Structure 1
Amino acid sequence: MTTIYFVRHAHSIYTPDERERPLSEEGWQAAERVTEVLKNESIDVVIASPYKRAIQTVEGVAKHFQLPIELEEDVRERLLSLEPVQDFEQAITKVWENPLFHIEGGESNIIAQERGVSCIMRILEKYKGKNIVIGTHGNIMVLIMNYFDSKYDFLFWKGLQMPDIYKLTFTENQLVQVNQIWKEDFVKNV
């Protein structure tokens, strides 16, 4: 069995620079709670999107287990558009309604999913039998989960919290179980 703990990043301060957007004060507090939850697991590897907010959300876990954070470009958030969209809700709804649709310069669900799943397959092969934390983003995380089970869809994505933790258990590259391990009371106490 190989276990992946997908950690959706905590709340961040909005900046137009996606890669450098840092956690907010609320986000830092929630990241401490992520560490508290995951320090009870036996973590072998910590991987993160190169985006600052994803790294900051899992850095406490890496420190606790005395592990480096491996940056993985392909678990970065899906690119919705090269330019800021006028209506985010409308844009994100449209790409989920039609998996082949993309806004100019952006990734369709299919393209983003292929990128993310290909990365996860490489990780499953490289770290077979290990427990892996992956600091990532909501949309790409759900697109990856959706590849294995279609119930992880747009409505599931809309219900995610910041942060959120999902434990996915694999036999080889087959998903056998998913559990949300992020506890509601941790979020409410932020």
Structure 2
Amino acid sequence: MLTNMYFVRHAHSTYTPDEFGRPLSTNGLADAERISKILENENIDIIISSPYKRAIQTVEGVAKFIGKEIIIEDGFKERTLSVKPIEDFNLAITKVWEEPTFSWEGGESNIIAQKRGIKAILKVLETYEGKNVTVGTHGNIMVLIMNYFDEKYGFNFWKDLDMPDIYKLTFDNKNLKEVNRIWNRI
């Protein structure tokens, strides 16, 4: 029985130091509406999201369309890069991808973040087998999850993602069978 997971990388947000409460920008809200229109044609059964406001806002239109509440799953929140402000984000993110066991102070290594994400996706695959599931999430954790199933999804793939972006992952039981990008910025 095939399960389709629609990973939705959140739309553009307005920067605030509050990671959990950071809202979508005006452009992000417009993109969230486009995402809703795209996913209306996918027969979505379940909506799950990271607890971060920007991820929830990106998929809440889909939840309204299907008339279901969004299930919050901490495993899909963005990886913690560091507890301290990062001066050079590009250097910091490159280092954790180059050395999967490395973590900045108080942050998660790729290995640790990936384990958290995989635990969440395996739970979803068991609970909602045969369903079409939308997951509101973040770029780094999404790619770390995809990387677990296929190593071609790595740092360069992450760098090329759009914000937002949508990838449909089709699973047979817990085996990834196919990945299709369904976001098309027009």
Distance 1:68 1:103 in 2: 35
Distance 2:124 2:162 in 1: 25
Offset from partner CA, 1:59-108 (integer Å, 9 cap, x none): 00000111110000110000000011110000000000000000010000
User: What's the counterpart of residue 156 of structure 1?
Assistant: 157
Distance 1:172 1:133 in 2: 17
Taking structure 1 as the reference length, what is the TM-score of the superposition?
0.97
Letter of the structure 2 residue corresponding to residue 106 of structure 1: G
Determine if the alignment matches structure 1 residue 51 to structure 2 residue 52. Answer: yes
Letter of the structure 1 residue corresponding to residue 76 of structure 2: V
Distance 2:166 2:6 in 1: 6
Distance 1:148 1:7 in 2: 17
Distance 2:185 2:104 in 1: 35
User: What's the counterpart of residue 31 of structure 2?
Assistant: 30
Offset from partner CA, 1:32-61 (integer Å, 9 cap, x none): 000010001100000000000000000000
User: What's the counterpart of residue 89 of structure 1?
Assistant: 90
Distance 1:6 1:156 in 2: 14
User: What's the counterpart of residue 4 of structure 2?
Assistant: 3
Distance 1:74 1:118 in 2: 7
User: What's the counterpart of residue 21 of structure 2?
Assistant: 20
Superposed counterparts of 1:35-114, under 5 Å: 35-114=36-115
Q: SS at 1:19's partner residue? A: coil
User: What's the counterpart of residue 188 of structure 1?
Assistant: none
Distance 2:85 2:70 in 1: 30
User: What's the counterpart of residue 130 of structure 2?
Assistant: 129
Taking structure 2 as the reference length, what is the TM-score of the superposition?
0.99
Unaligned ranges ≥5, structure 2: none
Deviation at 1:183, TM superposition (A): 1.2
Distance 2:80 2:100 in 1: 14
Quick one: percent identity of the two aligned structures?
Answer: 63
Determine if the alignment matches structure 1 residue 176 to structure 2 residue 177. Answer: yes
Distance 2:61 2:120 in 1: 23
Q: SS at 2:167's partner residue? A: strand
Deviation at 1:184, TM superposition (A): 2.9
Aligned length: 185
Deviation at 1:135, TM superposition (A): 0.1
Distance 2:168 2:76 in 1: 16
Letter of the structure 2 residue corresponding to residue 87 of structure 1: D
Q: SS at 1:142's partner residue? A: helix
User: What's the counterpart of residue 146 of structure 1?
Assistant: 147
Offset from partner CA, 1:132-174 (integer Å, 9 cap, x none): 0000000000000000000000000000001000000000000
Distance 2:26 2:168 in 1: 26
